[in-house]
Every structure is written in structure tokens, then in C-alpha cells.
Chain A
Amino acid sequence: MKVRQLARQTGLVGLVLVSSLALAACGSDNNAGDEGTADSAAVTAGGSDIECGEGGTLNAEGSSAQKNAIEQAIASFEEVCPDITVNYNPTGSGAGITQFTAGQVEFAGSDSALNADKGEVEAAQARCEAGPAWNIPMVTGPIAVAYNLEGVDELVLDAATTAKIFRGEITTWNDPAIAALNEGATLPGDEIHVFFRSDESGTTDNFTKYLNAASGGVWTDPNGKSWPSSGVGEGREKSAGVSEGVKTTAGGITYVEWSYAKDNDLGIAQIDNGSGPIELTAETVATSVATAERVGEGNDLALKLDYATQEEGAYPIVLVTYEIVCSAGLDEAATAGVKAFLTHFASPEVQEGLVEIGYAPLPEDVQTDVLAAIEAIA
């Protein structure tokens, strides 16, 4: 009897605890959203030519790398088209594409364009019926090489040295290879502790893509969403886990989205792509995306980044995330909703607001093409 009573009481207290935690979480979310959106929404509302259609609910799912960006866009979109509710479920790119081709969501967010080898292009076209699916680049997120090294505020690395660090061929911070890139800096002899993502992630995929392409043969593994076994280090869950790991471990280094590196006050390495050290800024990222090759046809704007670029001022480790949409075939209300939301998302005001939360705006010419492609959705 007593046990049952107790259990009931504890259950209640637990409930109260949980719900107050949940409330606290919601509260902070909203605040974060409001801060960034207040100014951008005002601007959009001023010169807006977005047609909202009859309203309704849009469901989208996919990449968690663009979660913060799309949430910010959704928050400001509420003022542009109050009748349209957009839900984004950051379950991961793979899950997003699966849900999209299964017809469960109106559009998907993905860290990579639809892959023909995996049959994703065909499956997506089958879902859309009336036309192919398009990859529309929307959010560019640079990946920072973040470190925790006391007394070292500026650190320059290049692809080969980075690859050696992440393969365990360089194990101390005062290694001659690092010292050569950082003339004049005093590097401590601390051990290097590498942290990598233990979950499957597009960030790992893009980072290994970069190492593979730019390290001049040091990094031999093909790119992949999970950390290869020839890499070294300690795997932590998600971006929050790796940045926390570096923050609490002296001599730690990891690859992580820019926003996490900034929020955790980690050191961010400058990357020497062959034309000199390049600091990670919105401009250097835009320069890099602008050099990307278009591999999609027509309004399919799939990009192929040149990770080995030696372009001056181009920060090479960049993740481009796409919105995957049907070029035609959705019902009228959904089509209008998707067009309205994506137009809003791609608008200069929203794109520039993304810098504050660790993303970079699309370069101008890409943005023009993106808006044209969205306009062409029928």
C-alpha cells in the first residue's frame, strides 16, 4: 500500500520536475529565436513580396546541421505568413530523405544532395510524380577546427597537418609540423586529445571529405558519416558532446560547426589552404561557396565544393545543406506554402541574420539562382 502511494507521489513530483524542465527549455528556445529574428522580420515585412497562399501546415524533416538556421527562419516566417505553420524535425539527413520519398513531409533538409547511386534521385522523382526533385542549397555552415590550448589564441593549421593530428601521426602540440605553420608562437608540449563525433553525422562526412581531398594523400580513408577506424581519438555524442569534450580537456581538438566553437569559447584554427592562413568568417566562407562547381542541371542547384581550393581568402571546410523539394506535384496549398517559406528563408535579411548563430549567408549569385529556382516550383 505504502509503496503504491509513494510511487504515485514520486510520479507526481517527477512530472512536475520534468514539466518545469521542459518549460525552462521552451523558454530559452524562444528567447534565442526572438533575439535573432526581431530585426530581420521587420525588414522582411517592409519589402516583402511573398505570397502566402491559403495557409496550412508544412512538415519538413532532416539535417540537424541546419536546425538552428531553419528554426530562426521559421520564427521570423510566422510574422510574414501567420497562417502557415512550419514544423522541422531534425532527425538527420538520411531520415529526412527517407521521409520525403515516402511522402511524409513536404520537403527535406539534407547535408548532401540526393545521391543517384543510392537510388535517392529516382525515389524522390517517384514521390513527386509530376517532376524531378531539386536540391536547393540554403544554409552554409562552416566547420571549425576547434581547440583548447592555454596561452595559444591563434593557431594555423593546413590540411596535411590537420590530417596527421586526426590520424594520430602528430601527438604533441609542439610538433615541428605545427611549429612550422606557427612561426613566432610558443606552443606547449601538451599531448593532443582528439575528439570526434560518435554518432553518424554530416559534419564528419564533410570534414573527412575535406581531409581526403586536400591533405595531399595523408588522409587515405574515403569520406563517411562515421569516423573511420584509422582516425584516432575519443568519440562524443553530437556537436554538443565534442565541444564539451574539448572544453573540459586541456590539449583537446575537434571539428565542429562554427556556432558550437563560438558558444563554447574554443580556439578556432585558421586554415592555410596554400594561399596563406584564412580566418573563419562569413566572408571567407562565402568566397569558398562561390567557387563551388554546379553539378545539378537547370534549377537543381546541387553544388560540388572544391575542398582543395587554393583561392585566396576561401575557408575550405564548409558544409552546404540543401532543402530537397518537389519541382512540381504537391497540392496547391502546399506548393504555395513551400514557395513562401523557402523564399523567406533565402531572402538576404534572413540569410544575413544567420551569421549570429554560426552560419554564413549564401553568396550573392547562388542566392539569385536559389530564388529563381524556388520561383519555378509549380
Chain B
Amino acid sequence: MATTTSTPRVPDAPPGPEGLKQGLSRGPDRAFKMLAGGSSAVVVALVVIVGVYLISKAWPSLAANGASFLTSREWSVADPDALRFGIAPLLWVTVISSVVAMAIAVPVAIGVALYLTHYAPPRVAKPFAYLVDLLAAVPSIVFGLWGARVLMPYVQPFQDALKSAFGWFPLFAPTAVQAGTIFLASIVLAIMILPIITALSREVFRQTPVGHMEAALALGATRWEMIRTAVLPFGRPGVVSAAMLGLGRALGETIAVTIILSTTTGAFSWSLFFGGETFASKIANAASEFDSPSKTGAYIAAGLVLFLLTFAVNAIARVIIDRRKGFTE
């Protein structure tokens, strides 16, 4: 990660005899440039097309919306003449479930990555790394079913303990939701984003300049001190970008969250032990019954916010990486 962003720019044409430049290298060079440029253009075009699609479908419903889109907790979209929908609870559940997932996954991922790169003997490291990567190959519906059927009974006593010990704190307040809490969804999300954060962090830590590490050790640092002074500062931007990639996945995860998370009615609660819907699970829950354009538009408007949210997360990640670049060189 870090090294790719700091690659020096290659001059357009290498210095050489005039004939060579024009006759031999220019043709393939140009063709490749066009191919590469074309690929990038396709990606940009795709993002633009998706964005335009979302906006064009969502706009009529947003214009007809009788409630405040950003702050309302209402969601009644069945009657095209009385659309009232707002995304406040969706935004909260989406963000808090992903943030808790990050809080669980990032420290674990860093630990795993450090163990693999600096502690584990190669004979152990290889199969272990392979196992972590295998976790990424598990389809999300399997994670969802596993979370709802297998993990849930084990998480419940832990939740109950947290509720009775810290129930005064709004995030841990007891609620009527028994089965699929945001907390459970966060744990499963954490497991799902663990492999990507681990794999990227591992690569970054592995690239720590040997000179830095040896210098630290030569000054009498223990292995932990060496990691703290040489490896972690070097790897920070890479870890941040890895975490942001994981966050992007957690924000948009659909099927596992839809299966796990219980929806709720009535009074809202800030508690982690409450249920709710994320943007993605809300759309998934209703997708089979999109029977009118205005209703579809309301859900697509929610999708648009998720799109923008993911966009913002990635932008923030870029800013952090760029700002920290100075550390790495």
C-alpha cells in the first residue's frame, strides 16, 4: 500500500535514439497506455453510471417526501401520495454496527499480522496465514446463518452480563430484543472483515525496512519495543487503509446482517442490544416487493446515502494516508 503511493513518476518516453523511440517502442507503448487508460475510464464510468442511476430513481421520491429525509424515523412508502420516509435510524445502525465491528476487528487483525510477520516460525506462519485468508472465502450467507443459529446462544449470556453491569449507559441499555441484536451483527461483521485487514496489514508490516528494525534492535530494544518504534509507525498508513477497506465492506454487508439483525417497532433505543436495519438490510428486506416506482425510489434514496457514506469513508482514508506519508520515508 504505502510503497505504491510513493512510486516515482516514470517519464513518458525513455531517453534514446530518435529512431528507436518512434519505430519500435512507441506503438506498443501507446497501445498499452490506451488499454490502461481505458480500464480506468471504465471504472470511472461505472461509478458515474451507478451514481446517476441512484439519483435519477431516488429524486422523484425525495421530492415527494413529506418527512425530513435525514432526520425522520418514519418509513411509510406504501402509499405513493403520502410518502414519508427518513433514514436517521438506518444511518445510526449502519454506522454503529460497522464501528463496533472495526473496534473488534482492527486490534485482532494487527495482532495476527504482527504475529505472522515477527513472531511465528515460518512453518507455522504459512498455514496460519492461509487459514486467515480462507476466512475471506466463506460466503456471507454462511456467516449470517452461523451467526444467527450457532453464535447467538453464546453471545446472549455475555450480552445479559453487559446489560446488567452497564445498563445505565445508553449504548448498553437493556431492550426487548432477544435474538438479533446490533452487537451480534457487529461480532459477525468483525469476523467477516478480519481477513482483509489482516492480509493487508501483514503485507505492510513485512515491508518494514530491515535497516529500521536492526537499528532499533542494535540500540537495545526488545522485540516489542522494536515493533512499537519501527514496525507500527511504518505500517500505520497501510493499516489505516486496510481498516477503511474493511469498514467499507462492513457498511455495505447485506445478507449476513439481514439474517442476523432483528427489526424493531415502536420506541427507538441507542442501545447496542437493540435491533434495527442497516441501509443494505432495509433494501434487501423490501426488494421482493418493489411494486411502485415511488416506493422503489425511497429505498434507492437510502441506497444513495450508503453510496455516499462509503465514498466519504474512502475519501477520509485517502486523506489520512496522504497526510501520514511523511512518516514512512
A interface, CB within 8 angstroms of B: 3, 6-7, 9-11, 13-14, 17-18, 21, 64, 91-95, 97-98, 118, 168, 193, 195-196, 198-201, 224-237, 241, 244-245, 248-249, 252
Q: How far is the CB of A31 from chain B (nearest CB, A)?
A: 20
How far is it, in angstroms, between the C-alpha of A193 and the C-alpha of B262 when the chains are bound?
12
Contact-residue size bin, chain B (C-beta under 8 Å from the other chain): 35 or more
- Which residues of chain A come closer than 8 Å to B263, judged between CB atoms? 196, 198, 227, 234-236
B275 in contact with A95 (CB, 8 Å): no
- List 21 A-B pairs, Cβ < 8 Å: A6-B129, A6-B133, A11-B137, A14-B136, A91-B288, A94-B291, A95-B288, A196-B263, A196-B265, A199-B285, A200-B288, A200-B289, A201-B289, A224-B78, A233-B176, A235-B265, A236-B263, A237-B258, A241-B148, A245-B178, A245-B179
- Which residues of chain B come closer than 8 Å to A230, judged between CB atoms? 265-266
B153, CB-defined interface residue at 8 Å: yes
B148 in contact with A244 (CB, 8 Å): yes
B interface, CB within 8 angstroms of A: 78, 129-130, 133-134, 136-139, 142, 148-149, 152-153, 176-180, 199, 203, 258-259, 261-266, 275, 277, 284-286, 288-292
Q: How far is the CB of A133 from chain B (nearest CB, A)?
A: 16
How far is it, in angstroms, between the C-alpha of A128 and the C-alpha of B297 when the chains are bound?
28
B137 in contact with A92 (CB, 8 Å): no
How far is it, in angstroms, between the C-alpha of A249 and the C-alpha of B199 when the chains are bound?
38
- Partner pick for B265 among A64, A229, A249, CB 8 A cutoff: A229
**Do A198 and B78 form a contact, CB below 8 Å, given A10-B134, A245-B179, A248-B152?**
no
- Which residues of chain A come closer than 8 Å to B133, judged between CB atoms? 6-7, 10
- Partner pick for A118 among B284, B288, B289, B291, CB 8 A cutoff: B291
A3 in contact with B199 (CB, 8 Å): yes
- Which residues of chain B come closer than 8 Å to A11, judged between CB atoms? 137
- Which residues of chain B come closer than 8 Å to A118, judged between CB atoms? 291-292
- Which residues of chain B come closer than 8 Å to A252, judged between CB atoms? 178
- Which residues of chain A come closer than 8 Å to B78, judged between CB atoms? 224-226
B148 in contact with A249 (CB, 8 Å): no
B137 in contact with A234 (CB, 8 Å): no
How far is it, in angstroms, between the C-alpha of A94 and the C-alpha of B203 when the chains are bound?
48
Q: How far is the CB of B117 from chain A (nearest CB, A)?
A: 12
A228 in contact with B137 (CB, 8 Å): no
The 9 nearest A-B residue pairs measured at CB: A14-B137, A92-B288, A235-B263, A94-B291, A198-B263, A200-B289, A234-B262, A94-B289, A199-B285
- Partner pick for A199 among B129, B149, B286, CB 8 A cutoff: B286
